[in-house]
């Protein structure tokens, strides 16, 4: 099996996951279903941080501080995120989600976990461990 075949297989797997995610999201009655794929990507990065700030977000996202400021500014404008002063340093702001976006991200993670559980259910425990080892090696 050559690299191109593995690449094609990975692309097909990712496309199947994305189609299932889109299908699930379309059936969702979420108020925040207007979230774009790009916004969802950056919201997920924010959600992965403890007490996110503009700086920690820009580092994790691999973008410049001005780009992070622009993205967060749009999130604030749309009401997805609010800025809260750091009680220890009034010059710094923590970023917090509104309840609707928090629920949206939790539901998205739940849907994604269910899809992966379904996909991985065809693997034995050994195959799953091996798959995990391979992914860790690639990362």
Element at 65 (helix H, strand E): helix 65-78
Least confident among 6-20, 49-63, 112-126? 6-20
Residue 31 vs residue 7, higher pLDDT: 7
**What confidence score (pLDDT) does residue 105 get?**
87
SS3 139: coil
- Classify 3-138 by CATH class: mainly alpha
pLDDT greater than 50 at residue 32: no
The pairs formed by 24-30 with CB atoms below 8 angstroms and a separation of 24 or more are: 24/111, 24/115, 25/108, 25/111, 28/107, 30/100, 30/103, 30/104, 30/107
| Residue-averaged pLDDT of the chain | 86
Q: How far is CA 72 from CA 38, 42, 125, in A?
A: 12, 9, 41
**What confidence score (pLDDT) does residue 28 get?**
54
Q: Is 42 exposed, middle or buried (0-12, 13-18, 19+ CB in 10 A)?
A: buried
pLDDT greater than 50 at residue 122: yes
**What confidence score (pLDDT) does residue 13 get?**
83
Distance between CA atoms of residues 52 and 72, nearest Å: 11
Distance between CA atoms of residues 98 and 93, nearest Å: 15
């Amino acid at each position: 099996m050559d690299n191109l075949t593995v690449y094609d297989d990975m692309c097909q797997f990712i496309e199947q996951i994305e189609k299932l995610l889109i299908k699930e999201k379309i059936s969702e009655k979420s108020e925040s279903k207007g979230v774009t794929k790009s916004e969802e990507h950056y919201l997920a990065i924010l959600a992965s941080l403890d007490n996110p700030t503009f700086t920690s977000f820009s580092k994790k996202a691999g973008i410049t501080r001005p780009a992070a400021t622009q993205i967060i500014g749009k999130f604030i404008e749309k009401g997805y995120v609010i800025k809260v002063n750091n009680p220890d340093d009034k010059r710094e702001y923590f970023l917090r989600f509104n309840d609707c976006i928090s629920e949206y991200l939790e539901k998205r993670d739940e849907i994604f976990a269910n899809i992966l559980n379904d996909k991985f259910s065809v693997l034995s425990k050994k195959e799953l461990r091996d798959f995990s080892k391979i992914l860790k090696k690639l990362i």
